[in-house]
Every structure is written in C-alpha cells, then in structure tokens.
Amino acid sequence: MSTISTVQDETAQDRTAQDGTAQDGTAAVVDDAAVEAEMGKIVTELGAALGVLLTALGTRSGLWAALADAGPLTDREVAAKVRVHPALVREWLRAQAAGGYLEYDAAGETFTLPAPVAAAIHYGPGGALVDACATMLSSMGEGFGAFSEAFTSGRGFGWHQRTAEHWHGTDAFTQIVLPDELIGATISAMPETVEALSHGGTVVDVGCGYGFPTTAIAKLYPAAQVLGIDYHDASIAHAREQAGPDNVRFEVAAAAELPVSDYSLITFFDSLHDIGDPLGALVRARSAVAASGSVLLFEPLGADDVQDNLTPTGRMFYAVSTLACTPNAVSQESATSSEPLGGQAGEKKLRALAADAGFTRVRRLEVPAPLNLVLELRP
Ligand SMILES: C[S@@+](CC[C@H](N)C(=O)[O-])C[C@H]1O[C@@H](n2cnc3c(N)ncnc32)[C@H](O)[C@@H]1O
C-alpha cells in the first residue's frame, strides 16, 4: 500500500478513513497495482482516441483497401499500393496491429487484415462512421480553446459557434445512420401518415441541419410539401444549395418559431435533445400538428436507467452529448425553458415529456435503426 498524495506524512495517513477515503481533502491510501491499472487505462484511452484519426487516415488514403482480401503483406508491399510515404505506412500498420485491427506475423514481418475487420471497416459502414467522427473531432480540436473556456465557466456552446467541419461531419454521420431506406421504412410503419403524404399533406422537419432526412421524405412522397427548419442560418444555406426535389424548401427558424399550420407530419431527427427547451418544442409541435397527424422522434438509443447506459455505446453517446449536443441546449436555456434532455433520455422520459406536451398516444416504432429510439407521438 502507498499514499498517493502531494504531502505524505504520518498525520495525513492518520486522517485517512478506514474505507480509504480522506476526510480532509488529502488523498486516500490506495493500492499501487490499482493505480497502475488506472494509468494503463489512460494510456489505452489515448491510443484509442488517436486511433480514430489513424482509422480515418486509412480510409482516406486507401490503406484499408490495400489490405482488404490481400492476405499477409509486408509494409513495403502495402506501401507499393498507396501514395503514402513508406515510413508512414510502416508506422500506421504497427499502430493498427497494436490496436488489434491487424494481425502481425513476426517471422515474415507481415500484416494481415482479418476478414471481420475488413467487413466492419472497409466493406461495412465502420470506416465511414469513424471518418465522419474524425471530421467532427477536427472541429472540436480547432475550437477546443473556446469550447473549454465556455465549459469551464458554466456556459453552453451553440451549434453556430462550431466550425463548418462539425456540421459537415454531422451530416456525413446522418447519411450513414439515417439512410433513405430507413426513413421510408419508418414512415411506412405509420399508415395514416402514408395515406396523408401520398395525397398531398405537409411535413416540417425541425432542426433539419443540412436536410438529408428532410430531402429523403420529399423524394419518397412527391405529392407532399416538405419544409426543413433550423435556427442555424449556415446549415439552412447549405441545405438550400443541395440539389433537391421541387417539393422541399428550407427556412431559418428555431423550434419555438415552428409555424402553426396543421401539419400531417412533424419530425425531429436527432434534434430534440439539442434544443434548449425540449418541452417547449414539443408543446409547439402539438399545436402545429393536425388532429390526424403525427410527430416523429428519432433520439439516440438509450435505456431508461443510467446504469444500463454505462456501456461502450452509451459511453460514446454520453461523450457526444457532453461535447456537442447538450452544450448547444445549454446555450439556448432561458428562465422559462425545461431541462436539457441529454443524449440518452430513454423511452420513459420521452414518453413523459410527450404526455406533458399534450400528446395522448405514443408508440415505439420497431424499425431497423441501430443507433436510435424511434417514437410516434399523436394528439
Ligand atoms: C444533431 S443535429 C441534427 C441535424 C439533422 N436533423 C440531421 O439528422 O442531420 C441537430 C440540429 O439541431 C439544430 N438546432 C439546435 N437547436 C435548435 C433550435 N432551438 N431550433 C431549431 N433547430 C435547432 C442544430 O442547428 C442542428 O442542425
């Protein structure tokens, strides 16, 4: 046993409680091995955090493609297939082998990309997901000084205070996790909405960002009129620049300014928890939706109880929530706004919020959305 403390003396040790916690602000007596294990965890975390950038570089430079289905290759053989400098290829391969993504054969000095890793990263969505996150991270890195100052001083940090990489990365992430087929399958699970949108009908997508899901709805239902709104003018400008069908348009408006207009469908794609007053936004949606209409909520998948979210996926969502979504919500707080939802509110809390906003029917839609909890709210 050793005392981890800036001042180690008998007195400090005497003051340390039996259960190992100090009662006067001095550090507790802890086991050396336990401290070493924690340091090991920190080193692992640093490697993993930097590994996100390495994996994105592998996608961008073609290193994963060079390794896929190629069998064991030396670093020189891999380098011959890409334009990356051979010394950097060598270091990248070794880092990815240390990270468990590649198998290393010491005898032949070769690296092999195992089939399941290739399936996840190269052929599947894993590489693109990491790439989208690396784009967002580069914005967080660039703006980290201003963000950490706001965080430290108790303020929030608005979506508009990010650099464009953050918005681009979010959109790239959306394009992977909310493909057109998923949007189509979700609306198909709401028969009254299908009926309304097939013969006209109106849709508003709140917090639409660059408008990828907004445009998907417009393409799927050409008879409907679809509006995307977002408080962030640069996102709306970008959405307007994209080629889209004639039945979609975009306007700068906050959720609180949602026009009251008997909408057939009001959607929130991963935006409710970004909004400073989530209850106010749902109250507004309740008054703006037609009596026969629906509100569709896509929120990050989360369990009702915190302890059930303490998983690798939950960790990722809580991190994104702390670094991106909740700071925006906090930046919009006013004296009358409801509490920010957080990134994993869970079904129970969302149902309670919907009830408080005046919705009487709430249904969970079982659609193939691996990262989302999907609810239909009806008046
Ligand atoms: C995580 S992004 C989701 C964007 C888009 N729905 C998607 O799926 O790609 C959250 C969006 O909510 C918008 N937002 C945040 N607060 C808002 C508010 N009070 N009213 C309207 N939009 C808001 C942000 O500008 C951002 O575009």
Pairing of strands 110-112, 73-74: antiparallel
Q: What is the pLDDT of residue 28?
A: 75
Token pair for residue 16?
């340390």
**Segment 297-347, tens digit of pLDDT:** 999 999 999 999 999 899 999 999 999 999 999 999 999 999 999 999 999
Q: What is the pLDDT of residue 7?
A: 33
In angstroms, rounded to a whole number, what is the distance separating the alpha carbons of residues 125 and 330? 32
111 within 8 A of 61, measured Cβ to Cβ: no
Q: What is the pLDDT of residue 12?
A: 40
CA of 38 to the centre of ligand 1 (A): 37
CA of 271 to the centre of ligand 1 (A): 5
The preferred substitution site among 229, 230, 270 for testing ligand 1, maximizing ligand atoms within 8 Å of CB, is 230
Mean of the pLDDT values across residues 111-128?
96
Ligand 1, atom 25, lies closest to the CA of 232
Q: Determine if ligand 1 sits within 6 Å of the CB of residue 213.
A: yes
Report residue 100: phi and psi, to 5°. 90, 5
Q: Determine if ligand 1 sits within 6 Å of the CB of residue 167.
A: no
Categorize the per-residue pLDDT at 260 as very low, low, confident or very high, splitting at 50, 70 and 90: confident
Q: Determine if ligand 1 sits within 6 Å of the CB of residue 268.
A: no
The preferred substitution site among 163, 173, 177, 231 for testing ligand 1, maximizing ligand atoms within 8 Å of CB, is 231
Q: Determine if ligand 1 sits within 6 Å of the CB of residue 221.
A: no
Categorize the per-residue pLDDT at 19 as very low, low, confident or very high, splitting at 50, 70 and 90: very low
Count of CB atoms situated within 10 Å of the CB of 284: 21
Q: Determine if ligand 1 sits within 6 Å of the CB of residue 317.
A: no
Environment class of 40 (CB within 10 Å of its CB; exposed 0-12, middle 13-18, buried 19+): exposed
Strand extents, DSSP E, 40-187: 73-74, 103-105, 110-112
Q: What is the pLDDT of residue 140?
A: 86
Q: Determine if ligand 1 sits within 6 Å of the CB of residue 89.
A: no
Q: Angle 125-126-129 (CA atoms, 0-180°, nearest 5)?
A: 85
Q: Is a pLDDT exceeding 80 seen at residue 208?
A: yes
Q: Tell which wins on pLDDT, 115 or 29.
A: 115
Which structural domains are found in the chain, ordered by start?
35-117 (1.10.10.10), 139-378 (3.40.50.150)
For 67-93, letters b (16+ CB in 10 Å) and e give beeeeebebebbbeebebeeeebbebb
Q: Is a pLDDT exceeding 80 seen at residue 4?
A: no
Ligand 1 atom at shortest distance from the alpha carbon of 298: 8
Ligand 1, atom 22, lies closest to the CA of 207
> Got the DSSP string for 224-289?
SEEEEEES-HHHHHHHHHS---TTEEEEE--GGG---S-EEEEEEES-GGGSS-HHHHHHHHHHHE
In angstroms, rounded to a whole number, what is the distance separating the alpha carbons of residues 93 and 66? 12
Q: Determine if ligand 1 sits within 6 Å of the CB of residue 73.
A: no
Count of CB atoms situated within 10 Å of the CB of 176: 14
3-state SS, residue 154:
coil
In angstroms, rounded to a whole number, what is the distance separating the alpha carbons of residues 82 and 60? 11
Q: What is the pLDDT of residue 103?
A: 98
Mean of the pLDDT values across residues 234-240?
98
Q: Is a pLDDT exceeding 80 seen at residue 13?
A: no
In Å, how far are 104, 249, 250 from 214, measured between CA atoms?
46, 9, 9
Comparing 18-22, 97-101, 277-281, the range with the smallest average pLDDT is 18-22
Q: Angle 91-96-97 (CA atoms, 0-180°, nearest 5)?
A: 95
Ligand 1 atom at shortest distance from the alpha carbon of 276: 19
Q: Is a pLDDT exceeding 60 seen at residue 107?
A: yes
In angstroms, rounded to a whole number, what is the distance separating the alpha carbons of residues 287 and 262? 8
Q: Determine if ligand 1 sits within 6 Å of the CB of residue 157.
A: no
In angstroms, rounded to a whole number, what is the distance separating the alpha carbons of residues 360 and 3? 58
Q: Determine if ligand 1 sits within 6 Å of the CB of residue 208.
A: yes
Q: Determine if ligand 1 sits within 6 Å of the CB of residue 182.
A: no
Q: What is the pLDDT of residue 5?
A: 37
Q: Is a pLDDT exceeding 80 seen at residue 15?
A: no
Give the chain's length.
379
Please provide the average confidence, as pLDDT, over all residues in the chain: 91
Tokens 């919705």: give the residue. 359
Q: Determine if ligand 1 sits within 6 Å of the CB of residue 274.
A: yes
Categorize the per-residue pLDDT at 99 as very low, low, confident or very high, splitting at 50, 70 and 90: very high
Q: Is a pLDDT exceeding 60 seen at residue 175?
A: yes
Q: Determine if ligand 1 sits within 6 Å of the CB of residue 230.
A: yes
Ligand 1, atom 14, lies closest to the CA of 207
**Segment 31-90, tens digit of pLDDT:** 999 999 999 999 999 999 999 999 999 999 999 999 999 999 999 999 999 999 999 999
CA of 3 to the centre of ligand 1 (A): 48
The preferred substitution site among 133, 139, 140, 159 for testing ligand 1, maximizing ligand atoms within 8 Å of CB, is 159
Q: Determine if ligand 1 sits within 6 Å of the CB of residue 231.
A: yes
User: What residue type is 343 in one-letter code?
Assistant: G
Q: Is a pLDDT exceeding 80 seen at residue 23?
A: no
Eight-state DSSP code of residue 340? P
Ligand 1 atom at shortest distance from the alpha carbon of 159: 25
